[in-house]
């Protein structure tokens, strides 16, 4: 088999696929890309057994058909060095030697048999629907930072996607923070829910962030989900298990409401947190009247910081502590000028919501657990 293709087109495709390949693969074949050439189409596939992704390209010239796997790292490294020029790849069927010609350069690398490469899962009896690429990208972007890493609770290492007659919901939590991102403009005829792992979400997020228009075809059943758009298809295994009842942990009565400029609060927390304890990252919020005092201290090193901010506040004066890292992540993942922090008591979760969100179809809520204050 032999084909000619633009080096830039090939590089972009294998770079996108490279994120699927694991760093410690149990099977050597998983360190390779699978190249399949037939009927004027070049299909390149990467897999780690849990996630399989393929990209289809149209070569500028094709001779013959066939399949071969090519070492991913070697191919990526050489392709990065080329300007945008035509690249000829010729695979010798007798020994699977891959000859690559670009400009005045000629390179050889050993290909491998394709029969050991894992088959792409075929979804049996799937539910199929089309979703806006922009909505999916936003849902992933707004929630993935809140997922956990606890191997004992694998369901919390992914993002829960709930489809209902009223809205589409994305939920992520690690037990310290929780994000619920809802789209009122997406409704489905039947209720369904599944948990997507972090790796395929990151792959999709990166690809969809540059695809501002169009739809994604989503297919899913009890075990797998498939996302198809443009020339890309990604199939992944879902996380099995029951997601925690997240609605139960969201406090509904929060009489103390603080409204403040998001960027001012974010920058103040960044500065004050430098002086916080490196184990707890605690920043103290002391609210009196229309004034918020942020403070942090590290008693081991006698470090201390305070900043005063003006705010709009309804409720009783209170002091509450939060993990500054979590709070910064949440503020970074909001886009409105002002945010509102709703609280009930110093030992109860705080709720962060945007103020005057321009997108009326979007409903976003972030929950953060307090940390115990040092007296």
Assign domain 2-116 one CATH number from 3.30.56.10, 3.30.70.980, 3.10.150.10, 3.50.50.60: 3.10.150.10
pLDDT surpassing 70 at residue 373: yes
Which has the higher per-residue pLDDT, 110 or 299? Answer: 110
- In which residue are the tokens 């994604």 written? 216
Each residue of 41-56: pLDDT tens digit?
999 999 999 999 999 9
- Rounded average pLDDT over 272-280: 95
Each residue of 149-173: pLDDT tens digit?
998 999 999 999 999 999 999 999 9
Q: Where in the chain is the domain with CATH 3.10.150.10?
A: 2-116, 127-245, 250-371
CATH dotted code for 127-245 = 3.10.150.10
Burial 274-294 (b: 16+ CB within 10 A, else e): ebbbeeebbbbbbbeeeebeb
Percent share of the chain, pLDDT over 70: 99
Residue of 367, 372, 374 lying closest to 176 (CA atoms): 367
Q: Across all residues in the chain, what is the average pLDDT?
A: 96
pLDDT surpassing 90 at residue 355: yes
How far apart (Å, rounded) are the C-alpha atoms in residues 42 and 59? 7
DSSP states of 179-199: EEEEETT---SS-EEEEE-HH
Count of all residues that appear for the chain in the document: 375
Q: What is the pTM of this model?
A: 0.94
Vertex 93 angle, CA 81 and 104, to 5°: 30
- pLDDT band of residue 367 (cuts 50, 70, 90) is very high
Each residue of 296-330: pLDDT tens digit?
999 889 999 999 999 999 999 999 999 999 999 99
User: What architecture does CATH give domain 250-371?
Assistant: Roll (3.10)
Residue of 155, 197, 174 lying closest to 52 (CA atoms): 197
Predicted confidence at residue 190, as pLDDT, reads: 87
pLDDT surpassing 90 at residue 212: no
Predicted confidence at residue 28, as pLDDT, reads: 95
- Rounded average pLDDT over 289-298: 96
Q: Which stretch of DSSP H or E encloses residue 22?
A: none
- Rounded average pLDDT over 329-351: 97
**Dihedral sign for Cα atoms in the order 324, 328, 330, 331:** positive
Give, as one character, the DSSP assignment of residue 61. E
pLDDT surpassing 70 at residue 375: no
Predicted confidence at residue 270, as pLDDT, reads: 98
């Amino acid at each position: 088999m032999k084909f000619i293709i633009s080096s830039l087109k090939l590089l972009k495709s294998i770079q996108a696929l490279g994120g699927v390949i694991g760093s410690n693969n149990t099977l050597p074949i998983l360190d390779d890309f699978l190249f399949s050439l037939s009927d004027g189409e070049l299909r390149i596939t990467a897999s780690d057994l849990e996630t399989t992704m393929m990209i289809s390209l149209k070569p500028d010239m094709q001779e013959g058909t066939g399949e071969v796997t090519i070492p991913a790292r070697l191919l990526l490294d050489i392709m990065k060095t080329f300007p945008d020029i035509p690249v000829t790849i010729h695979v010798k069927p007798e020994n699977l030697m891959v000859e690559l010609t670009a400009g005045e350069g000629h390179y050889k690398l050993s290909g491998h048999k394709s029969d050991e490469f894992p088959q792409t899962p075929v979804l049996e009896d799937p539910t199929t629907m089309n979703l806006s690429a922009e909505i999916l990208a936003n849902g992933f972007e707004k929630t993935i930072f809140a997922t956990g890493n606890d191997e004992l609770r694998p369901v919390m290492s992914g993002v829960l996607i709930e489809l209902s007659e009223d809205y589409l919901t994305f939920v992520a939590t690690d037990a310290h923070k929780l994000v619920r991102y809802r789209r009122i403009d997406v409704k489905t005829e039947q209720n369904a829910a599944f948990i997507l792992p972090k790796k395929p979400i990151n792959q999709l997020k990166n690809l969809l962030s540059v695809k501002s228009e169009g739809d994604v075809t989503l297919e899913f059943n009890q075990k797998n989900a498939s996302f198809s758009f443009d020339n890309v298809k990604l199939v992944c295994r879902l996380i099995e298990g029951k997601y925690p009842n997240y609605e139960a942990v969201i406090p509904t009565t929060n009489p103390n409401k603080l409204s403040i400029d998001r960027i001012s609060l974010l920058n103040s927390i960044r500065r004050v947190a430098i002086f916080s304890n490196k184990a707890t990252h605690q920043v103290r919020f002391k609210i009196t009247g229309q004034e918020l005092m942020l403070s942090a201290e590290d008693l081991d090193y006698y470090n201390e910081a305070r900043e005063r901010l003006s705010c709009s506040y309804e409720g009783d004066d209170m002091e509450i502590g939060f993990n500054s890292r979590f709070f910064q992540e949440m503020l970074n993942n909001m886009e409105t000028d002002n945010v509102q922090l709703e609280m009930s008591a110093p030992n109860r979760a705080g709720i962060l919501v945007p103020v005057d969100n321009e997108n009326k179809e979007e409903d976003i809520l972030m929950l953060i657990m307090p940390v115990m204050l040092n007296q």
